[in-house]
Amino acid sequence: PIVKPWAGRFDAPTDAFVEAFTASVGFDRRLYRHDIAGSIAHATMLAQRGVLSEAERAAIVAGLDAIRTRIEAGDFAWSVPLEDVHMNIEAALTAEIGDAGKKLHTGRSRNDQVATDIRLWLREEIDGIATELRRLQEALLALAEREAETIMPGFTHLQVAQPITFGHHMMAWLEMLGRDAERLADCRRRLNVMPLGAAALAGTTYPIDRHETARLLGFDRPAENSLDAVADRDFAIEFTAAAAILMMHLSRFSEELILWSSAQFGFIELADGFCTGSSIMPQKKNPDVPELVRGKSGRIFGHLMALLTLMKGQPLAYNKDNQEDKEPLFDTVDNVRGSLKVFADMMGALTCNRPRMRAAAQQGFATATDLADYLVRKGVAFRDAHEIVGRAVAFGIREGRDLAEMTLDELRDFSSAIEADVFAILTLEGSVAARDHIGGTAPSQVRAAISRARRRLAEK
């Protein structure tokens, strides 16, 4: 029978249901690689400090390497009575190498061990997420470049507002994703601090060298305070908050893609590979991918709330509550990563229906502001110009004609300041080209924004 590492002070065995209820090995086994890396660094430092002999260190490292290989080969018997990934691996090490294995836990606790494992794991996952995010940024840049001159209606209140370019619209999303990338990088920087050495909560009596262990594991420095090191999961909350904001962006972006690919908009077409059909309606091509991403944002918001609530009532230092940090965190990582990957691929394969977008921009008097600005240039005060154009629009609605479809005489009925040169500014191309400053929708400005964004990405 399995003897628990902490069994010494107990008379009776753990209740069978409690054993299963308290175990985390079903999910925290996912940390095995980082747990082993942390143990190897810890043992290496202990040997440097003379706490372990060189032979003991070598046996521990070889034993842990062998265990890692076995886990990866699917040849490792995970035990629920051994509770978690930490005690499973430690027990296997002792079974493998004998007494030296019993020395690995010298000067260490599962409390600083698990806090270290999660940080090592999350650090790596953030790097993976950053790679996916970058792929999406690059896909958007390519799309923005291809569609820098493509005219579409810009909306406020989902009502046609002013003409913009599709490239400009894509670059708006690029900016938002850029801030998401910065938030993740910032979170990574703050989490890269090492708990090991905090032991259970107060530190340890052995002559450890925490700077050395931190160096071996690629941490920037050891945590300043042993209680803080084992007690807080703010880094997980911070990551999930950044992930929630990112998913909010992807959800909102998804909403647009879903609308735009409907027959009523018809602005874009998602590639077949990113859509599914209906089991009953033969004509259907459904935008399942953006719908699912929009849906997944909800569960990530939920994970953020779960982690905040998990933490808020805990007295210092470690409490078992913290075992509940893993499933929300793992699920957040998996779904954010998957959403980014599928989004990057989907955006790379998206096609635009330029005539449809242009036609939509021609409805709804999208150039009304251009006409008001024109009148201002002719000496009319903006408020008067607004009123004049409003009356012209009302006429257009009654007649079923856009401003550009009116005759000069008709337009001059609203203001004698209007002259023949008005028609140039009433075109869609003229309207977007006139927004010619940094941050504006003019195609030349979109191209400049693309090259600045490329430069920023290359510097990272």
Residue 24 within binding range of ligand ARG, rule CB under 6 A: yes
Is 94 within 8 Å of 174 (Cβ atoms)?
A: no
Which is nearest to 114 in space by CA: 324, 313, 328?
324
Instruction: Give the one residue of 35, 56, 84, 132 binding ligand ARG; rule: CB under 6 A.
Output: 84
Selected from 240, 251, 323, 415, the binder of ligand ARG by CB under 6 A is 323
Which position has the token pair 């036609």? Answer: 359
**Interaction of residue 28 with ligand ARG, rule CB under 6 A:** yes
Nearer to ligand ARG, 24 or 297 (CB): 24
| 5 close to 86: Cβ distance less than 8 angstroms | no
Handedness of CA 193, 199, 204, 208 (dihedral sign): negative
Which are the catalytic amino acids?
157, 278
Q: How far is the CB of 16 from ligand ARG (least distance, A)?
A: 19
The helix/strand/coil state of 419 is coil
Identity of the amino acid at 296: K
Stretch that binds ligand ARG, among 158-166, 211-219, 316-324, 421-429 (CB under 6 A): 316-324
Tokens 């001159």 identify what position? 149
**Where are the alpha helices (H) located in 206-273, listed in sequence order?**
210-216, 226-231, 234-260
Judged by CB under 6 A, which stretch of 13-21, 92-100, 161-169, 314-322 contacts ligand ARG? 314-322
Angle of CA points 81, 328, 201, to nearest 5°: 60
Stretch that binds ligand ARG, among 110-118, 174-182, 238-246, 300-308 (CB under 6 A): 110-118
Task: Please tell me whether residue 320 binds ligand ARG under the rule CB under 6 A.
Answer: yes
116 binds ligand ARG (CB under 6 A): no
Binder of ligand ARG out of 88, 150, 254, 322 (CB under 6 A) = 322
Q: Which amino acid is at 169?
A: H
The least CB distance from residue 121 to ligand ARG, in Å, is 12
Instruction: Using the minimum distance from each CB to ligand ARG, give the nearer residue, 5 or 390.
Output: 5
Q: Which stretch binds ligand ARG (CB under 6 A): 43-51, 158-166, 319-327, 367-375?
A: 319-327
SS3 450: helix
Q: Using the rule CB under 6 A, is 114 a contact of ligand ARG?
A: yes
Question: Is residue 110 a contact residue for ligand ARG (CB under 6 A)?
Answer: yes
**Smallest distance from the beta carbon of 324 to ligand ARG, in angstroms?**
8
CB of 437 to ligand ARG, least distance (A): 54
Residue 431 touches ligand ARG, criterion: CB under 6 A: no
The contact mask relative to ligand ARG for 29-68 (x = CB under 6 A, - = no) is: ----------------------------------------
CA contacts within 13 A on the Cβ side of 446: 30
Would you state the structure tokens that stand for residue 130, as one six-digit string? Answer: 């950053």
Can you tell me the distance from the alpha carbon of 127 to that of 184, in angstroms, rounded to the nearest whole number?
Answer: 9
Maximum alpha-carbon separation in the chain? 101
Closest contact distance (angstroms) between CB of 356 and ligand ARG is 53
The CB-side HSE value for 4 (13 A sphere, CA atoms) comes to 16
Contact region with ligand ARG (CB under 6 A), list: 109-117, 216-224, 301-309, 384-392: 109-117
> In the beta sheet, which residues pair with residue 154?
162
Number of residues counted as binding ligand ARG (CB under 6 A): 10
CB of 10 to ligand ARG, least distance (A): 14
Q: Which C-beta is closer to ligand ARG: that of 261 or that of 323? A: 323
**Looking at beta carbons, which pairs linking 13-17 to residues 24 or more positions away fall under 8 Å?**
14/81
Task: Write out the DSSP string of 342-408.
Answer: HHHHHHHT-EE-HHHHHHHHHTTTTTHHHHHHHHHHTT--HHHHHHHHHHHHHHHHHHT--GGGS-H
Residue 32 CB, shortest distance to ligand ARG, in Å, is 13
The residues of the shown chain that bind ligand ARG, judged by CB under 6 A, are: 24, 28, 84, 110-111, 114, 318, 320, 322-323
